[in-house]
A and B are shown apart, each in its own frame.
Chain A
Amino acid sequence: MKRITTLLTGAATLTVVALGAQAETKVAHVPGGPHPFFADWEPASIAAKEDFNLGAADYKFPQKWELNLQNDLLESLVTQGYNAFAIHPGDPVGSVPTLNELVGTGAPVIAVSACVNDPSDVSFCLASDAGASAYTGTKHLIEAMGPGTRKIAHFTGWLVEPNTQLRIDGVAKAAAEAGVEIVQVIADIDAPEPAEEKIGAYLAAHGSEIDGVITTAWVPAVVASNAMRRIGDKRIKMVAIDHDEVVMNAIRDGFVVGSMLQNPYGQAYVAAFAADKLLNGCEVSADAPFTSHPLTERFIDSGAPYVDASNVDTRADVDRAMTEELIRKVEADFLSCN
C-alpha cells in the first residue's frame, strides 16, 4: 500500500512540475465496469473538455466489473498524468482506500452515480437518489394501475450493488403506503441471459396474477420492455428505469407507462466541471447544503425525472434542463471559489 502511495505521489508530483504551477486539468471518467448506463459518459467527457477548456477529459473503463481491475486502472491513470477523477465506485466500502490514495496525490475525486461509504476523502457524491427514484417510480406505477387491490413484481439488479437494496426498500415503502402487494422480487439479473430467462418465466407463469411491474436496473428494464411488447398485454402496467432506446420505444408504443431517468450525461459533465474547479483553487463550501443519503453525508441529488408518453420525445430537453440546473446548483451552492 505504501509503495503504491509513493508511486502515485511521485507520479503526480512529476506531472504537476511538468505542467507548471497551474495544473492543466486532466479528468478521467471511470465507471466500475462496462455497462450501457455509461454510454453517455464519453460524449459528456468530450463536451466537458471543450466547454471547460480542460487539458483532457477521457472516459476509461475497466475490462470487467471487478474492484481490483478498477483500482489498477485508476493507479495507471495517475501515472499517465490524470489529476482529477469522476468515478462510479466499484464497491461502496472497498473503493474507499484507493479513492483516498488518489485524493492523497492532490487529485479531486468525485463519486458519480453511486456513492461510497463515509468516512472517505472524496469531495462529494453526485448521483440520483436510488431509493427515492424507486419510490417515485413505484408511485407512478400505482397511479397508472388505478385504485383497487393491486399486485406488482419488482425486477432489479445485482444484489452486491449498493443501490439494489436501497431500490428494494424504496419500492417496498411506496407499495406499503398504498396497500399494494409485492408478490415477487427478482434480483441479480442485470445481465441479458438471466434477465431474459427469469423475467420470461415469471411473466409466463404469473403474468395473469399481477397488475404491474417495476424495474429498477438497466438490463431488466430492457428485457421486461421487450417481454411486455411480446406479450402484447397492456393490462399489466410497467414503470422502467433509465433511457435505453428499447425502453423509450416501448413507452412510445404504450407497452411501458414511463421510466425514471438518471441523466448519466449530466452527472459526468457536471462532475468534470466541479473537478476542474476543485483542482484550481475552489473548495467544497463549508455550509454546502448536502442532502441525506444512507451511505454519505456529502450527497448531491442529481435528480431523477420521470419520462412518459407525454415527454418521451423531448427527453433530451429534460436532460439538458436538468444538467443546466445541476451545474448552476453545484457552482452556486456547493463550491466556494475565491
Chain B
Amino acid sequence: MARLISQSDWATPMIVAVSLGVLISLFNPAFLSTFNIQVLLEAVSINVLIALSQMVIIAIGQMNLSVGALGGLAAVIFAGLMEVFGLPPIVAGALALGVGLAGGFLNGLLIGLTGISAFVITLATLSIFKGLNLAITQAQPFYEIPDAVKHFGNATLFGPFPIIFVPAALIVVLLVVFFNRLPVGRWLLAVGGNAHSAELSGISTAKTVVIAHAISGFLAACAGVLLVARLQLGQPTIGDDWLIMSFAAPIIGGAILAGGHVSTVATVFGVLIVAQITQALVLFHIDPFFVQVVLGLMILAAVSVNQWRELRMQRAGQE
C-alpha cells in the first residue's frame, strides 16, 4: 500500500499539502479551527472545479483561456434567470450549466473546424463570453438570490464540511473514473500525448477536442454556479481571477503542459496547496505589498519539489 502510494503521481503533492498544513498549524493553531477548515474547504470546493476545467484541456495538450469568462457568464445567467425571470434555482442552474457546456462545445468546434490553435480561439471567445456577461449585467451584480441557494452555498453538511464540497467531490470522483476507466478519457490522454499516433489508432482528434472543451465548459459553469451560491450574488467580475489558479493547481499536480499526462487527484492536492499558501499569507500577516511575490515563490517551490521527485523516479527507473 505504502509502495503504491509512493509511486503514485499524487504522492508528492499530497505530502507537500499535508506537510504545509502541519507546518502552518504548528505556528498558528487557529488554522485547524472548525471555521477555518470550513473556509478552506469552501475555497477548495470551487477552485478544484476551476482547476479541473483547465486540466481537461491540458490533457489534450491545449490551453483554455476562456475558463473564467465562461464560468462568469454561467454565473450571471444563473443569478439573472432567478432574479429577472423568477426561475426556480434548479431550472436556472441547469440552464447555466447548459450555457457552459454549449460555450465549451463552441470552443471545441471552432478549434476542430478551423485548425486554429486553442490559445487563439479561446482568447477570442474569452472576449465574447465576457462581452455577453457585461451586456447582460451592464456591469452590475444580480442581488436577488433565493434563500435556498444562499443556504446551499454557505451551510455545512456536518462539522466543517460545506454542502458545496459534495458536488465538487462527486465531480472529482467522476473525473478519476473518466480518465482511468473510460475509453473516452484515454482518448484525451492519447491525443494529448501524440495526436498523430492517436489518429492512426482510430481516435478522432476533432471529436476528442470537442469533448474535452465541452467538459471544460461544463466544469467552469459548475464553478460559476457554486460561486454565486457562496457569494450570495451574481457578480459580473466572477471568473476574472481564475486563469492563474486554473493553471497553477494542475501544474503543481504534475500535469504536463504538452499534454498526455494529468492527474485529477494530484490536481486536487495542487488546489489544496495553493489555498493553504493563500491562507498562510493572511494568517502570518504578510505585508500586502509582498503577498503576490510570496505566493509566486511558494508555488514555484511546490512545482520544483514535484519536478525533483519526478526526475529522481526517472533516474531510478533508468538504473
Interface residues of A (CB under 8 A from B): 34-36, 38-39, 42, 61, 63-64, 159, 183-188, 191-194, 196-198, 200-207, 219, 222-223, 226, 230-231, 245-246
Contact B143 A246 (CB under 8 A): yes
Query: Chain B, interface size: which category?
Result: 35 or more
Expressed in whole angstroms, the minimum distance between the Cβ of A268 and any Cβ of chain B is 14
Q: Which of B38, B227, B292 has a CB less than 8 Å from the CB of A192?
A: B227
Chain B residues, Cβ within 8 Å of A184: 282, 285
Expressed in whole angstroms, the minimum distance between the Cβ of A14 and any Cβ of chain B is 29
Contact A202 B241 (CB under 8 A): no
Stretch at the interface among B39-47, B87-95, B185-193: B39-47
Contact B138 A42 (CB under 8 A): yes
Contact A201 B241, CB 8 Å, known A39-B140, A63-B130, A192-B231: no
Contact B288 A34 (CB under 8 A): no
Contact A34 B236, CB 8 Å, known A197-B43, A205-B30: yes
CA distance A63 to B285 in the complex (A): 34
CA distance A39 to B307 in the complex (A): 48
Can you show 29 pairs from A to B with CB atoms below 8 A apart? A34-B237, A35-B139, A36-B141, A38-B139, A61-B139, A63-B127, A63-B130, A64-B130, A184-B282, A187-B288, A191-B237, A191-B241, A193-B242, A196-B231, A200-B42, A201-B39, A201-B282, A202-B282, A202-B283, A204-B30, A204-B39, A205-B33, A205-B283, A206-B30, A206-B283, A207-B35, A219-B237, A223-B231, A246-B232
Chain B residues, Cβ within 8 Å of A197: 39, 43, 275, 278-279
Chain A residues, Cβ within 8 Å of B215: none
Chain A residues, Cβ within 8 Å of B279: 197, 201, 205
Interface residues in B248-295 by Cβ distance below 8 A to A read 275, 278-279, 282-283, 285, 288-289, 291-292
Expressed in whole angstroms, the minimum distance between the Cβ of B29 and any Cβ of chain A is 9
Chain A residues, Cβ within 8 Å of B28: 205
Chain A residues, Cβ within 8 Å of B131: 63
Q: How many A-B residue pairs have CB under 8 A?
A: 104
Contact A159 B289, CB 8 Å, known A197-B275, A201-B279, A204-B30: yes
CA distance A193 to B226 in the complex (A): 12
Interface residues in B105-139 by Cβ distance below 8 A to A read 127, 130-131, 134, 138-139
By beta carbon, the residue of chain A nearest B143 is A245
Contact B33 A246 (CB under 8 A): no
B205 at the binding interface (Cβ < 8 Å): no
Chain B residues, Cβ within 8 Å of A202: 282-283
B31 at the binding interface (Cβ < 8 Å): yes
By beta carbon, the residue of chain A nearest B43 is A197
Contact A201 B40, CB 8 Å, known A34-B236, A36-B140, A36-B141: yes
Expressed in whole angstroms, the minimum distance between the Cβ of B312 and any Cβ of chain A is 34
Interface residues of B (CB under 8 A from A): 28, 30-31, 33, 35-36, 38-40, 42-43, 46, 127, 130-131, 134, 138-141, 143, 154, 227, 230-233, 235-238, 240-242, 275, 278-279, 282-283, 285, 288-289, 291-292
Q: Which of A193, A230, A246 has a CB less than 8 Å from the CB of B241?
A: A193
Chain B residues, Cβ within 8 Å of A205: 28, 30-31, 33, 36, 279, 282-283
Chain A residues, Cβ within 8 Å of B230: 196
Contact B235 A201 (CB under 8 A): no
Expressed in whole angstroms, the minimum distance between the Cβ of A52 and any Cβ of chain B is 23
Chain A residues, Cβ within 8 Å of B242: 193
CA distance A63 to B141 in the complex (A): 15
Chain B residues, Cβ within 8 Å of A246: 143, 232-233
CA distance A185 to B290 in the complex (A): 12
CA distance A261 to B238 in the complex (A): 25
Expressed in whole angstroms, the minimum distance between the Cβ of B166 and any Cβ of chain A is 19
Contact A198 B282 (CB under 8 A): yes
Expressed in whole angstroms, the minimum distance between the Cβ of B307 and any Cβ of chain A is 27
By beta carbon, the residue of chain A nearest B150 is A226
